[in-house]
Structure 1
């Protein structure tokens, strides 16, 4: 398993994810969250801008659902159940299904691969000759912001599936169980592990935030044009946080009302995937009504010469405070 303290495992200028430390932090966070009284639990990165009133609006709306909730922006992977390894990434379920077909992956969506009622009676991984079952695709919520209902978190930490996988991770870390060897080896992707666990929860509501409107994966020109819907923006430069906070407070003080919707489909998150069939796909949207006279505050002008997703080199000329 990869050591977080070995610089060879995280080259300069690269972002390392899926380390052993983040995996155990996830486990500790889930155990702590399961003991808290709040109806909704949030987990996010430390480099995001969050709109507090919009976060509260989303949480209040999600808490109205009587079923357990897993909310975020979703992408897709398959999962090796014995070596806790993600494989076959796809931006969509269809793309991940295509990657699943690779012979060397040998992944399946069949429920028999998970064992009958996998959450309560998970497949044992203690047999040395047990094949490294690969199941998928499954939806995982991207790390910048994830929200779960407390009922989903409590179900998870009490599930034998949770204990089984943490035990396996410890065995691999201690060298008592063989890890995966191949492309992307030496890591456990905690976001995908959480997605795998959630894919086994009966009656779960998988709720998608509006990408590029409420949920922004990168800071870029034009984000402030979405202030009436802005929930979070990832990698906002620190010197822009104050301005964005002031702009957010201003639009909320001007808003006359907000339109909200939370719609759940009658079908699961995807066809031919590793989710239990009783799960449902949902979408949430919250938008402030600022009237026809509202104009977004100025941000980086399009004439500024900078790469997409990065901070302008000339913030004094591009940014209007």
Structure 2
């Protein structure tokens, strides 16, 4: 629960302040009804529904990182909660018959909430389809191998090497291009030092999910070691791989991450490189892309030294 409050405390506090504001508004405009005329059936139905929607919102925030889908789902649930909450206040507070504000506060947020929920569920559905397609591809290979990464649901360096050793001859035989993209998270060790290795593992898991959302179903993503990932791209020219590398770099940079401890924003970036296989074996290809990555990682440091 503390993690949820740390990550999304402003959303929850805003919703509670809005609910309190609605209650104070009704109290200022009306009078509390006598206990004898309270409708306990309506109170249980409307108040219980509002409470359940609030629980749904809490579970949503506890289980998802910040982002567009989370915001849409939370705003939809917040509208539903507010509508049910204001409707339940009618059971305790008598408002003047001439006042129309209560009808708007009770009715207007409900359809807006359903629209926002529908949009959020649609984008969530698209996310899950992309992730499921990637995981089906992983599971098909993992049934035959035990080279799992311990942090992410990906194959390790040994598994990737074997897949590359199989893919290279097949690509040469079919005269098809084959490319690789390597991604390295910048200054990842600083996250481990500042927030601990558990937080670092969580960042790796979220970055993995973000990369998978940008890949095709037949692409293969593996974790080489530490904060370095590699993607095998069958039937892909080098220009296409470079475009994908830039997209992955941008998607990681725009990933909305907050620490699980204090909820502060974690700004991360990544260095990506791409190249196409030549007439070479897996060892030579992996050595070449590692050299290209090393040069790419050194370039910003040399610029800072030169400045």
TM-score, scaled relative to structure 2: 0.23
Q: Kindly name which structure, 1 or 2, has the bigger radius of gyration based on alpha carbons.
A: 2
The structure that is helix-richer by fraction is 2
The structure that is strand-richer by fraction is 1
Which gives a bigger RCO, structure 1 or 2 (Cα 8 Å, sep 6+)? Answer: 1
